[in-house]
């Protein structure tokens, strides 16, 4: 009997149960080695095999070809806010940013310390939509154009990716491997693991080879993509256990039919929840319909004074982590790959019951 709750956390977030079961089975003794994966040397053949399989499965899932390095780094997505401008732009250069929410703000703030940032487009009048690419004003000399494909707090998501002259760089932390993407459209993609990939402590970076190796002399080696690529993400001790779990998640995704199958399920889950919100006068979504995120669904109650009661009732039903981000308030349901359709049904059922109770 499972006692697990329905977890709508924005991250660290729900992981697939088969992955947790597998990790549990292998926890004390990894496949007859007599030790746990977290006790192994990262140089051991068993771990090198784990690492290589994780990369191969990820490449297969997203169709990443040999023009790109796949790196497994530490420092979270926030480290990439700095590494991207350090490696791709630098002092005296210009980088374009499309500003669609709080995570974009953080990326911009960090990049400004390193390079000249130009805002090519912004929805800062509330962050409830994605500015249409026809309104963007790219810089002719931009070294890259940075977007946040899914804003985890605001719940706005790119459903199509623009064509840009400068290499497109995407923070995909909260919608990575949730749908197919055409990697060739991007110069660089990065994603913190703790939503769709695994536990916290790892950031996956997919970077076009020709964009690496351009850092100025004096750049610390640990901040240089070329150095990490040359050392196959083992320039220093990598987060081995998180990498292993990410590998289990990628293998699970392949078994489930890959990102195309995930995208269909994710669309169904989010559509149900948005339909329930739109059908009610009690709940509402602040986000423009076309740009609503399939991963993070923020919603508000007609009377914010009921928020506490709503959350307490949700907790009673083991529907956890529905509180919106402190900067925006209200509620937020995160519906990553590992959140089941059953969990979404249970949430909708509870929302309808709670609404009736207030009538
Ligand atoms: N970008 C996005 C879109 C995020 O959602 C987050 C974390 N929630 C980050 C960046 C920062 O990630 P980290 O805490 O791993 O640095």
Residue 327: predicted pLDDT: 85
CA of 352 to the centre of ligand 1 (A): 32
CA of 78 to the centre of ligand 1 (A): 6
SS3 state of residue 6: strand
SS3 state of residue 151: strand
Q: Return the residue matching tokens 């000399």.
A: 141
- Measure the CA–CA gap between 180 and 187, rounded to whole angstroms: 16
Q: Which atom of ligand 1 is nearest the CA belonging to 192?
A: 15
| Max intra-chain CA distance, the chain | 67
Ligand 1: does its nearest atom lie under 6 Å from the Cβ of 162? Answer: no
Residue 329: predicted pLDDT: 87
Residue 268: predicted pLDDT: 98
The three-state DSSP-derived secondary structure of 30-91 is CCCCCCCHHHCCCCCHHHHHHHHHHHHHHHHHHCCCCCEEEEEECCHHHHHHHHHHHHHCCC
Beta strands across the sheet bearing 168-171: 68-73, 203-208, 188-192, 168-171, 142-148, 94-99, 116-122
Contact 154, 106 (CB under 8 A): no
Contact 195, 177 (CB under 8 A): no
The closest residue, in CA terms, to atom 9 on ligand 1 is: 77
Residues of the chain with pLDDT under 70: 1-2
* Cβ atoms < 10 Å from Cβ of 308: 10
Ligand 1: does its nearest atom lie under 6 Å from the Cβ of 171? Answer: yes
Q: Which atom of ligand 1 is nearest the CA belonging to 148?
A: 3
Q: What is the dihedral of CA 96, 101, 103, 104, to 10 degrees?
A: 0
- Measure the CA–CA gap between 244 and 34, rounded to whole angstroms: 17
CA of 216 to the centre of ligand 1 (A): 27
User: What are the DSSP E strand ranges found in 268-349?
Assistant: 283-284, 296-301, 319-320, 331-334
DSSP-derived letter for residue 98 is E
Ligand 1: does its nearest atom lie under 6 Å from the Cβ of 174? Answer: yes
CA of 194 to the centre of ligand 1 (A): 9
- Which residues are known catalytic residues? 103, 171, 195
Ligand 1: does its nearest atom lie under 6 Å from the Cβ of 192? Answer: yes
The closest residue, in CA terms, to atom 3 on ligand 1 is: 173
Ligand 1: does its nearest atom lie under 6 Å from the Cβ of 105? Answer: no
Ligand 1: does its nearest atom lie under 6 Å from the Cβ of 12? Answer: no
Q: Return the residue matching tokens 């140089």.
A: 43
SS3 state of residue 324: coil
CA of 1 to the centre of ligand 1 (A): 34
Ligand 1: does its nearest atom lie under 6 Å from the Cβ of 157? Answer: no
Please give the backbone phi and psi of residue 35, each rounded to the nearest 5 degrees, phi first.
-150, 165
The closest residue, in CA terms, to atom 12 on ligand 1 is: 77
Pairing relationship of beta strands 296-301 and 331-334 according to DSSP bridges: antiparallel
Q: Which two tokens stand for residue 5?
A: 């709750």
SS3 state of residue 192: strand
């Amino acid at each position: 009997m499972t006692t697990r709750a329905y977890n709508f956390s924005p991250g660290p977030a729900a992981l697939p149960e088969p992955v947790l079961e597998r990790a549990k089975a292998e926890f004390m003794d990894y496949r007859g080695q007599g030790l746990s994966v977290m006790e192994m040397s990262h140089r051991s053949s068993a771990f090198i095999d784990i690492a290589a399989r994780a990369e191969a499965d990820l490449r297969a899932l997203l169709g990443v070809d040999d023009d790109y390095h796949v790196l497994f780094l530490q420092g979270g997505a926030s480290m990439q806010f700095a590494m991207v401008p350090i490696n791709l732009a630098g002092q005296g250069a210009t980088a374009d940013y499309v500003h669609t929410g709080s995570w974009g703000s953080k990326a911009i703030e960090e990049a400004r310390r390193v390079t000249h940032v130009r805002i090519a487009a912004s929805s800062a009048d509330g962050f409830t939509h994605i500015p249409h690419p026809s309104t963007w004003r790219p810089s002719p000399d931009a070294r890259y154009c940075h977007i946040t494909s899914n804003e985890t707090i605001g719940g706005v998501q790119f459903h199509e990716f623009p064509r840009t002259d400068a290499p497109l760089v995407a923070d995909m932390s909260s919608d990575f491997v949730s749908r197919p993407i055409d990697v060739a459209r991007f110069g660089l993609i990065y994603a913190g693991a703790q939503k769709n990939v695994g536990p916290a402590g790892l950031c996956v970076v997919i970077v076009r080879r020709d964009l690496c190796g351009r850092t100025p002399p004096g750049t610390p080696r640990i901040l240089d993509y070329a150095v990490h690529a040359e050392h196959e993400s083992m320039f220093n001790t990598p987060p081995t256990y998180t990498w292993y779990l990410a590998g289990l998640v990628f293998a699970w995704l392949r078994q489930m039919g890959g990102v195309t199958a995930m995208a269909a399920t994710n669309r169904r889950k989010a559509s149900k929840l948005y339909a329930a919100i739109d059908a009610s006068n009690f709940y509402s979504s602040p986000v423009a319909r076309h740009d609503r995120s399939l991963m993070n669904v923020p919603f508000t109650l007609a009377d914010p004074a009921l928020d506490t009661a709503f959350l307490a009732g949700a907790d009673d039903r083991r529907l956890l982590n529905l509180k919106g981000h402190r900067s925006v308030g209200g509620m937020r349901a995160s519906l990553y790959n590992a959140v089941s359709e059953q969990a979404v049904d249970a949430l909708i059922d509870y929302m309808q019951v709670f609404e009736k109770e207030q009538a």
